[in-house]
């Protein structure tokens, strides 16, 4: 078991954007790639179970049960331009990004220290999970096609917005219940102050990751710049 400032930690949960991966990769590569294809892909999926599920999710999100396909596409594009963390958009983005990875249009950025420690923790028997606003399918694709290779073997599981919003403490309580681990024995790593606050309110251990371009954190917040600076050590048994 790992110790975080002498506190036993059973598992680590990581954010993606600005934590394991450069936020610029998501903002300047993945998002534009998906946005340019939303209309065409939704048109292709319209009569498929996947497309119907996304359409139903859009209707539920906006509270209009009879919303047409064209209006749903317009709503998805509006959400994409505003970078809204809504489930139907994230689901569609995941479908589109799969095509990009499959065709070799891009490879996911991963910080070298993050790739090293995700692998190291796995080898030490420490479960590592991902919690991101991107869909679980998109998360798996990102970690399967990184500049450091396929990192999915070192990841125990994934959580997305279907668990709850990342700024809601209840989402972190749900994750702890799902993992059957006391919140105080879970460590959350993120570059987002609001997410760290929410996890902390749920009883988790937290640590801010400050990558280049990340806003400054409150003085009382524990902050590191790289995974190798985390105050973690193997418990002596």
Which value, in Å, is the radius of gyration of the alpha carbons in the chain? 18
Instruction: Report how far residue 194's alpha carbon sits from residue 105's, in angstroms, rounded to the nearest whole number.
Output: 33
Q: Which residue has the higher pLDDT, 5 or 52?
A: 52
Domains of the chain, CATH where assigned? 2-21+108-234 (3.40.50.1000), 27-103 (1.10.720.60)
pLDDT tens, 102-118? 999 999 999 999 999 99
* Span 216-231, average pLDDT: 92
pLDDT score, position 128: 98
Helices 49-62, 87-103: inter-axial angle, 10-degree rounding: 150
Confidence band for 11, pLDDT divided at 50, 70 and 90: very high
Cβ burial of 28 (10 Å; 0-12, 13-18, 19+) is: exposed
Output the pLDDT for position 236: 58
> Could you give the CA distance from residue 1 to residue 42 in angstroms, rounded to a whole number?
46
C-alpha to C-alpha distance for 200 and 202, rounded to whole angstroms: 5
Helix 69-81 and helix 49-62, axial crossing angle in degrees, nearest 10: 70
């Amino acid at each position: 078991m790992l110790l975080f400032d002498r506190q036993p930690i059973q598992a680590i949960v990581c954010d993606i954007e600005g934590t394991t991966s450069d936020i610029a990769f998501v903002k300047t590569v993945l998002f534009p790639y998906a946005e340019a294809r939303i209309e065409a892909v939704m048109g292709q999926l319209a009569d498929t179970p996947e497309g119907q599920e996304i359409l139903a999710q859009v209707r539920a999100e906006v509270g209009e049960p009879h919303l047409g396909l064209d209006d749903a596409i317009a709503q998805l594009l509006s959400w994409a331009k505003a970078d809204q963390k809504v489930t139907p958009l994230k689901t569609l983005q995941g479908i589109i990004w799969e095509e990009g990875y499959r065709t070799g249009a891009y490879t996911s950025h991963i910080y070298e220290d993050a790739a090293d420690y995700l692998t190291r923790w796995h080898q030490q028997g420490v479960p590592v999970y991902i919690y991101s606003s991107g869909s679980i399918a998109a998360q798996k694709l990102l970690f399967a096609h990184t500049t450091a290779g396929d990192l999915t073997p070192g990841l125990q599981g994934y959580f997305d917005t279907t668990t709850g919003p990342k700024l809601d403490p209840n989402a972190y309580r749900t994750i702890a219940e799902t993992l059957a681990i006391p919140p105080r024995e879970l460590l959350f790593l993120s570059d987002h102050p609001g997410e760290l606050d929410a996890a902390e309110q749920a009883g988790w251990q937290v640590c801010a990751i400050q990558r280049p371009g990340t806003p400054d954190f409150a003085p009382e917040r524990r902050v590191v710049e790289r995974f190798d600076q985390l105050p973690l050590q193997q418990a002596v048994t």
